[in-house]
Structure 1
Amino acid sequence: MKKFSPVLSTTAIAGLLLAGCASDDQAEAVDDHAVEGEIFAVEDPWVRATEVIMETDHDHSMTGAFVHLTNVSGEDQTIVGAHAEVAELVELHEVIDDGGVNVMQEKEGGFPLAGEQRYELNPGEDHIMLMDLAEEIQPGDVIDITLEVATGETQTIEFVAKDFVGAQENYGDLDHHDDETHSET
């Protein structure tokens, strides 16, 4: 049986005590898991992992990305677009009630955030849609998505892939074109 060195144990305890002396600001940032960028503070960025549903004969595989954003830029902002290397097409989407059925569609005008406002992208609500995926996204994969605001400024956010079942919105027969118009059925 190995014996633990009292010096090592004392060092470990001292480290824990010092960690407990962090400032309230540091503790809040750690507790909230927020990362502050120049435009947005970012909380809980994640993307829905794809399953084995990516069929070889179907090139329109898609998934959603979700995050809670707080505008820290000091100015009103509107997210007007997004880009991700893993997807051929990235759009800002909303989910609307169409006669009792949740239907997803592109969000006209983007996502507006007044100064200091929080905006949540959640399953079954506003979200970022990644379409025509280049590869399957596995749980734990990290996907970089760059958000663009109306001023042309950008902020890249790391999204972690996780399994998720829920928010069963209807994707319909999305017909996306290069002219950025599409129809929903």
Structure 2
Amino acid sequence: MTRAPLLAFAVLGLAACSQDGPAGSGEQATVQAAAAICRPTPVGRRMTGCYLSLTAPAADRLLSVTSPDANLVQIHESRIESGMMMMGELRDGLPLPAGETVALKPGGDHLMLMGVKQPLVPGDTVTLALTFASSGPVELTATVGQPEATTSAAAAH
């Protein structure tokens, strides 16, 4: 038996197991991002929250976010501990279950822009570059404004 057919089967088998997009197109799957909005910066403050919805075609994880409009962007969670609202960085990123829309919203998971370079006022835009564990990067533009009202008392950002 020759080695050429075995090698061909091995290459085809590896291609079938790749992380590429649909039908082995050679393209990475893309996470869909929608409804991106960042709050205006309060007077005298250089930080604010941003919100959006993410839908991944396959299980993935939002690992990091950057913006030319801020020195640092962190992926944050809000949670209640001992009756108090606590907020902190999700150091391992944000899980994105396959096919489910994950909403980053006031009082819940959100992006925190820190060291905002210029005050953000309604009508401005903010560029966000999202990096994922498996999917290709996504760059989007968020509008500066007030997110939809939420019933959570934790919506203070």
**TM-score, length-scaled by structure 2:** 0.72
Structure 2: which amino acid aligns with 1:157?
L
Counterparts of 2:70 and 2:79, CA distance in 1: 24
1:95 and 2:69 are equivalent in the alignment: no
CA RMSD across the alignment: 1.9
Q: How does 1:1-185 map to 2 (within 5 A)?
A: 39-54=30-45, 61-72=46-57, 75-151=58-134, 153-163=136-146, 167-168=155-156
User: C-alpha displacement at 1:152, in angstroms?
Assistant: 7.2
Q: Which runs of 4+ in 1 moved over 6 A?
A: none
Deviates more, 1:150-159 or 1:45-54: 150-159
Task: From the CA coordinates, give the structure whose radius of gyration is larger.
Answer: 1
**In the superposition, relative to structure 1, how do residues 99 and 89 fare at CA in structure 2: closer, same or farther (>3 Å)?**
same
Q: Is the 8 A contact 2:52 2:104 kept in 1?
A: yes
5+ residue gaps in structure 2?
Answer: 1-28
User: C-alpha displacement at 1:108, in angstroms?
Assistant: 3.2
Counterparts of 2:132 and 2:97, CA distance in 1: 12
Counterparts of 2:146 and 2:132, CA distance in 1: 29
Structure 2: which amino acid aligns with 1:62?
M
Aligned length: 124
Identity of aligned residues (%): 27
- Which structure is richer in relative contact order (CA contacts within 8 A, separation 6 or more)? 2
